[in-house]
A and B are shown apart, each in its own frame.
Chain A
Amino acid sequence: MKALVGTLRRICSERDGRLGLLFSVVVVLFALVGPLVSPSPNAIDVKARFEPPSVTHLFGTDNIGRDLMARTSAGTRYALVLAVTIVLISSIVGSLIGISAGVLGGWYDRAVTAIFDIINAFPPLILAFALIALYGTGPVTFILLITVVFIPQFGRMARARAQALRSQSFIEAERLLAVHPVTIALRHFLPNVAGPVIVLASMNLPVVITFEASLSFLGFGVQPPKSSLGTLIKDGFVSINQSWWPTVSAAIVLAIATLGATLLGEALRRVIDPKTTGVR
């Protein structure tokens, strides 16, 4: 708890960190309070098609008169839930696989590295297309898919850290005391790997958000009538001649969300992992 407060304080001590935190908080609040202040995201009002931003519809309405603020808020919520879930699962699973590979070595390590390489060999979008073609769209498929794509990143980092730790005296001391290998992995490797993993996780949040938006933009992500930042931008783009605000509002939210998460991630890296920070 004290560490958390200290980290927050240090993030707030610099401009980028404050900005990142502010943007992130705004986006999260937007996602949370949207449903409270605006009508249902799927309520159609054909008399109010393509309405410009007004007091009743802050972001205006789309081609069938749905409130864009509600839809953007729902899309943001969806993106955030997906991003957090995916990053959480892939960081935990990736760290455990990476640590075990780094600790155990041998054929297990080679097999894990080979699998990571195979997954990494595919460009994520192409891999996503293939898997969606096989397993269809839907949040669970999407989460599983992106998680698989992201696990190698965390796995590699955890593995590299674990290998570096393995020859350190304190790990050797544990082994020479015959402390159980699982205890060594969880109590002595994991906490020393956690810092960079947390940093990588925070830097991957915006990547997942954008990735989800891209897939939805291309029609491989969220299916209608549900909304996502990607589909909002796409739908707005189709009718950009009638109204520009659907695309712009969704794009601004996406930009703030990714910018906020990126700045926050960078600030977190400077706090947790100051050694890797270059001269600014």
Chain B
Amino acid sequence: MTAAISVDNAFVRFGDTAALNGVSLEVPQGGCFGIVGESGSGKTTLMRAVLGLQKLEKGEIRIAGRVLGTDRGGLKQRASIIQPIFQDPAASLSPRCRIGMLMDEVGTVLGEAREETRGRLNGLLRRLGIDPGVVDKYPHEVSGGQARRVAIARALLMRPSIIVADEPTAGLDVSVQGDLLNLLQDLRQAENITLVVISHNLAVVRLIAEDAIVMRQGVVVEGGEAGALFSAPGEPYTQELLASWPHISVRQ
């Protein structure tokens, strides 16, 4: 089985700092893959490179076994395979367009009739627990949590096989974080999507991911099965990360 994403020896430099310093990894198809690291570890650059928003200085990225170009054809192929959920999903909705129009755009790209898109959208919105009336609103008229779900719905509308989520729980309170992670997990299973979660939050990755890597200063420090990785970290950096995580226990 070809890997969903395979990154081979990727280099990206911003001035003197190497954001990616020879990163290689394989994200298996299906399942959830976690990328952990502190701020500045290169995890967001890695995500942008995978999405095609960041050119590589060296190295190669294959999405579903193919190297995708940045021409129109490549963009379309990439769009149908991989979709992002940005750190601030509210900012990923065009502010002067009604949400419905943003959704119809996806249909246009897919060459689908409007009714069909809207039909699928209603199904998605219902699953995400949003009132379908949201299509008549502007992005600034919905709450942050709703905007996040709308952005997820829009990404899913494209029927991607891979979703990359950058800090999906950033800025959410703890109870909503849990809901969202469950939701992503459900969607992943129902739609057979490969989910890549990027987070500095170890607890999130530990909870949701099956496999994970730890990044530091543009290099993959350690990787493997998530449970094993975090219960018995091999590298001192991972141990440090784990130790610095405040322990919260649930009162019974």
Contact = CB atoms under 8 A, between A and B. Distances in A.
A183 B83 CA distance: 19
Contacts of B83: 176-177
Given A177-B106, A191-B96, A192-B96, A170 B91 contact: yes
Of A173, A177, A191, A192, most B-chain CB atoms within 10 Å: A177
B80 to A, nearest CB: 8
Chain A contact patch, size range: 10 to 19
A177 B88 contact: no
B228 interface: no
B91 A174 contact: no
Contacts of B93: 170, 173
B95 A176 contact: no
Contacts of B242: none
Nearest to B109: A178
Contacts of A177: 79, 83, 105-106, 109, 154, 158
A179 interface: yes
A254 B154 CA distance: 54
A179 B78 contact: no
A15 interface: no
B211 to A, nearest CB: 24
Interface in B27-64: 51-53
B94 interface: yes
A188 interface: yes
A172 B92 contact: yes
A176 B105 contact: no
Interface residues of B, number: 29
B41 to A, nearest CB: 20
Contacts of A168: 91
B75 interface: yes
Interface in B131-153: 151
B94 A187 contact: yes
A169 B155 CA distance: 13
Given A169-B86, A176-B83, A177-B109, A188 B75 contact: no
A192 B86 CA distance: 20
A226 interface: no
Given A170-B93, A176-B84, 16 more contacts: A169-B91, A169-B92, A172-B53, A172-B86, A173-B154, A174-B94, A176-B51, A176-B83, A177-B79, A178-B72, A178-B78, A178-B79, A183-B108, A188-B96, A191-B97, A192-B96
Interface of B: 51-53, 72, 75-76, 78-80, 83-84, 86-88, 91-97, 101, 105-106, 108-109, 151, 154, 158
12 contacts: A169-B88, A170-B91, A173-B84, A173-B94, A173-B151, A176-B52, A177-B83, A177-B154, A178-B78, A179-B105, A179-B108, A192-B96
Going nearest first, the 8 A-B pairs with the smallest beta carbon separation are A178-B79, A191-B96, A169-B92, A173-B92, A178-B76, A169-B91, A169-B86, A170-B94
